[in-house]
Structure 1
Amino acid sequence: MSAPLVRPARKSELTALLALETRCFEQDRISRRSFQRFIEHPQDLLLVAEIAGQLQGYILVLFRRNTRLARIYSVAVAPDTRGLGLGRALMLAAEDGARDKGAVFMRLEVRADNTAAQNLYQSLGYRQFGVFHDYYEDHQSALRYQKRVHHYHPLTGTKAVPYYRQTTEFTCGPASLMMAVSALDPDYRPEIDEELQLWREATTIFMTRGHGGCGPHGLALAARRRGFEVELMLNQQGPLFVSSVRTPDKKLILERVHEQFLAQMAGLGMRPQYGSFSLEQLEQGLALGRLPLVLISTYHLDGRKAPHWVLVCAMDKEFVYIHDPDIDDDAGESPVDKQYLPIERSRFDRLARYGQNGLRTLVWVYKA
């Protein structure tokens, strides 16, 4: 049998699409009017698969305005042609189409009792991240799957950056620094003892809750002590994160730690640069082979308003690509999901601020 041809649906195929819908689904069917609207709607994508000139499958992808999310709304393959790879061909073509429209993530729902479809999606790299209970007309639940379809393709001469996952809730800063060091020193091997040592050197002792994270001054000092050139830029003077703790004793500790960091930096001939960095400055530094640790607020990611360090690895006209050392196992995340994670430039510009005062800081790490 000839290979399937996947292409955009035509308005002349409405009757064939309806017939296929009837053969494949007993409930939740798409109407003729809806099929026509999807074909004519430029924002959405309706592809069909044909074999020997006969329409044997379709896939419908919807795009949400002002987001980088695409959603597979429906997939259908004629019963007598299943097992011939049409479903996989349709999925891959849909991912290509989603990328062409600027999508970063593809999502879908699948019946909890449809194990064949689940196996296909998992084999293509989709991961379950949620459940919709009582979702279908017969009250069956829907499993929610997601896959990142946009990936960074490094340009010639771009520095490859190894990935390292933080092993505690409070060592995002050390993990980000270790990734930068790994890229700059091919002989460096990151491991947990070094991660904890870096935290001890760079911690502010207290922060929003639990163990204190790392401040920019401490991370800059840790990098310099390991023989790297460092530039610290921030838009605020004085001790940081003081407003995130409540008791006077904790505020005093933060102030004393800050003064210690400044004294240690002065002893090494280091001086912070005060001001806000721009995306253009990030691009210029990356072009020089430097790597920036950037403090972001997780509010726009998970709503928690927590300070979090990431490593910026690359940029292009649309995205800032980061290595995020934090992996949520409960959400089914893996290291692949957090490497070269694309964030729209305008969105990253908003993320790279923390707290009510809009702290904006980065630590450049590079070799002389």
Structure 2
Amino acid sequence: MNFIFRTATSQDLPALLALEEQCFTLDRMTPRSFQWMLSRANASLIVAEAQGHLMGYALLLFHRGTSLARLYSIAISPLGRGQGLGMRLLEQAENNARAHDCAYVRLEVRADNAVAIRLYEKTGYRPFAVVSDYYEDHSEALRFEKRIIQRPEGKVRQVPYYQQTTEFTCGPACLLMAMAALARGRPLARREEVQLWREATTVFMTSGHGGCSPQGLALAAWRRGFKVRLQVSIDGPLFLSGVRSEEKKEVMRLVHQEFCSQLQESAVHQVRSSQLDIHGLLADGGQPLVLISNYRLTRTKAPHWVLVTGCDEDFIYLHDPDIDHSRHREAMDCQYLPVSHEEFQRMSLFGGSKLRASVTLFTQA
């Protein structure tokens, strides 16, 4: 059978929905989900046609600012099975991923779907995680990954993942993950997440609750027995440009002054530099938290903390504590995110002052 592959359009919606009915009894995509994927999502939906019928599709989601693509769904009609269509759809999806500068494709598959698992393993995908209670019927999913641009890989430290539970606790969430990575068995608890925020917050931001400053996070980690290296590229209180009220700015200055006073009495090693040596920090056993501009990931101009888990010749790998469910993301989509060195250099500069900041934890000597 001769297949024609092309990008789906809204005209394919009825055929796509019919294909869902044929292929799945649970976890079907809805008309609204398909419409969102076709019109608004950062995605690629490829369809295969033959004999005037839609025989299959592959839906790929891209994680903005990273080199990661996720195969969200693949379906093949009964008429198209047994003819290698699954492998060809995977090839089409991987080609689209490369065209979007992605080096990794990840996917989930039911643990009892032996046919799909054989296909993925045959085409070079390798399991790297198991996700319990993933599907609608509470069955587990196997998480597979394939590096579609083959280059030497470096060491990626195994780091527990913790999702921030509020919109303003990305820093504390990263700090919890860093401490748990260095002190195995250390709990990741919401109670401490909130306590860390109370200790490290700058009090005010553009709107809502304040975020955490590098100085505050460094002090919080040092108080908990970790050796800490604080790097900030500029002096003075940070994030003042995001606050209009002069009264609030004055409070932020006072908080910063108190942080600086406490830092002088601590054992935190302070460095003023605009150069981040991620490879060196990891090689020394460090676990770096890095401040980024969230614009590179979500198109929102806000400071955001991420945790570096590793690096190699091509990528820096991140845990992002912020899960955006509106973009069909799961916790697994925010772990070990591959970001090119060039993109990381851009995203780790914040605001007009080109602020670069990191807080690196080490086990106490």
- Superposition TM-score, scaled by structure 2 size: 0.66
- Residue 331 of structure 1 deviates from its aligned partner by 1.7
Preserved CA contact (<8 Å) 2:153 2:312: no
How many angstroms apart in 2 are the aligned matches of 1:336 and 1:304?
A: 22
**Cα distance change on mapping 1:153 and 1:314 into 2, 3 Å:** farther
For 2:132, the equivalent position in structure 1 comes to: none
2:232 to 225, 231, 234: 234
- Residue 268 in 1 paired to residue 259 in 2? no
**Cα distance change on mapping 1:214 and 1:80 into 2, 3 Å:** closer
> Residue 166 of structure 1 aligns to which amino acid in structure 2?
Q
- Residue 157 of structure 1 deviates from its aligned partner by 6.3
Unpaired runs of 5+ residues, structure 2, are: 13-45, 49-54, 107-115, 126-143
How many angstroms apart in 2 are the aligned matches of 1:270 and 1:71?
A: 40
1:1-368 mapped onto 2 (5 Å cutoff): 17=2, 20-21=3-4, 81-84=79-82, 86-94=84-92, 103-104=102-103, 150=147, 158-278=156-276, 281-367=277-363, 368=365
- Residue 269 of structure 1 deviates from its aligned partner by 3.5
How many angstroms apart in 1 are the aligned matches of 2:78 and 2:244?
A: 67
How many angstroms apart in 1 are the aligned matches of 2:181 and 2:105?
A: 30
- Residue 277 of structure 1 deviates from its aligned partner by 2.0
How many angstroms apart in 1 are the aligned matches of 2:199 and 2:83?
A: 55
**Equivalent position SS for 1:320:** strand
- Residue 93 of structure 1 deviates from its aligned partner by 3.9
1:251-301 Cα distance to aligned partner (Å, 9 max, x none) = 1001000010011111224352111123xx110111121111000001122
- Residue 106 of structure 1 deviates from its aligned partner by 6.8
**Equivalent position SS for 2:248:** helix
1:151-206 Cα distance to aligned partner (Å, 9 max, x none) = 99996865311110000000000000111111101120101001000000100111
Unpaired runs of 5+ residues, structure 1, are: 1-15, 29-45, 49-56, 108-119, 126-146
How many angstroms apart in 2 are the aligned matches of 1:148 and 1:209?
A: 39
How many angstroms apart in 2 are the aligned matches of 1:68 and 1:312?
A: 15
> Residue 345 of structure 1 aligns to which amino acid in structure 2?
H
**Cα distance change on mapping 1:192 and 1:255 into 2, 3 Å:** same
How many angstroms apart in 2 are the aligned matches of 1:282 and 1:156?
A: 13
How many angstroms apart in 1 are the aligned matches of 2:66 and 2:184?
A: 38
Cα RMSD (Å): 4.1
- Residue 90 of structure 1 deviates from its aligned partner by 2.6
> Residue 358 of structure 1 aligns to which amino acid in structure 2?
K
Aligned identity (percent) is 41
**Equivalent position SS for 2:307:** strand
Larger radius of gyration: 1
How many angstroms apart in 2 are the aligned matches of 1:250 and 1:330?
A: 32
